[in-house]
């Protein structure tokens, strides 16, 4: 299985009230990043069989924007296994339930996404791998027997650069002197 782990895009400042914070939407920059990320994924010809998101608004918006722009037409599943308070056991259970999928996109929060990713990359007996997931970062992991393999990591800066180079005109500039 190809597992794509996406941390939700920018959603502004965290709110002290947990109830209000759970309803915090993406900001303008976050929405723009989702569109750019989807453009890059389309250029790489990556399609998702299933998208699973944390039930919080900013993750659902991230999943929806990326899914819509990449041509995903099925329903986005909501899972508390990707919520901020989720445990590794819940995440592992979610992966077992989705094991028959070829390309799975999960959208969640830090610090637990970073921890989940680290636990996939290093066996349980070893130290946890450290991978930094900025807001809007996407990690691609190949899940086979044994430890997973990190195939790639797109952070927001890389996505912006790839988007900028892919949308420039391919026509050469000519002088009219």
Residue 4: the pLDDT is: 97
CB atoms within 10 A of CB 167: 10
Cβ-contact 154, 37 below 8 angstroms: yes
Cα angle 128, 53, 2; round to 5: 60
Q: What is the pLDDT of residue 157?
A: 93
SS3 21: helix
Delineate the domains of the chain, giving CATH numbers in brackets.
Answer: 2-164 (3.40.50.1240)
Residue 44's pLDDT is what?
92
CA distance 155 to 62: 15
The runs of H, that is alpha helices, within the chain are 18-22, 28-43, 57-69, 88-97, 112-121, 156-167
Query: Which of 12, 2, 1 minimizes the C-alpha distance to 138?
Result: 2
pTM: 0.88
Could you read off the pLDDT tens digit of each residue along the chain, which spans 177 residues?
Answer: 999 999 999 887 777 766 666 788 899 999 999 999 999 999 999 999 999 999 999 999 999 999 999 999 999 999 999 999 999 999 999 999 999 999 999 999 999 999 999 888 886 666 777 888 999 999 999 987 767 889 999 999 999 999 988 776 555 555 555
């Amino acid at each position: 299985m190809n597992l794509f782990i996406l941390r939700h895009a920018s959603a502004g400042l965290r709110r002290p009230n947990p109830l209000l914070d759970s309803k915090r939407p993406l900001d303008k920059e976050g929405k723009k990043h989702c569109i750019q990320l989807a453009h890059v994924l389309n250029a790489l010809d990556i399609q998702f069989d299933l998208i699973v998101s944390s039930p919080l608004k900013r993750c659902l918006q991230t999943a929806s924007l990326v899914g819509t722009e990449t041509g995903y037409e099925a329903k986005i599943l909501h899972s508390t296994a990707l919520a901020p308070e989720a445990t590794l056991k819940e995440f592992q259970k979610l992966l077992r339930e989705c094991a028959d999928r070829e390309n799975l996109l999960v959208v969640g929060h830090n610090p637990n996404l970073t921890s989940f990713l680290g636990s996939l990359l290093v066996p349980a007996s070893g130290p946890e791998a450290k991978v930094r997931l900025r807001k809007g970062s996407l990690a691609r992991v190949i899940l086979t027997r044994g430890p997973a393999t990190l195939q790639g990591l797109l952070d927001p800066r890389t996505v912006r650069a790839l988007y900028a180079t892919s949308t420039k005109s391919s026509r050469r500039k000519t002088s009219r002197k």
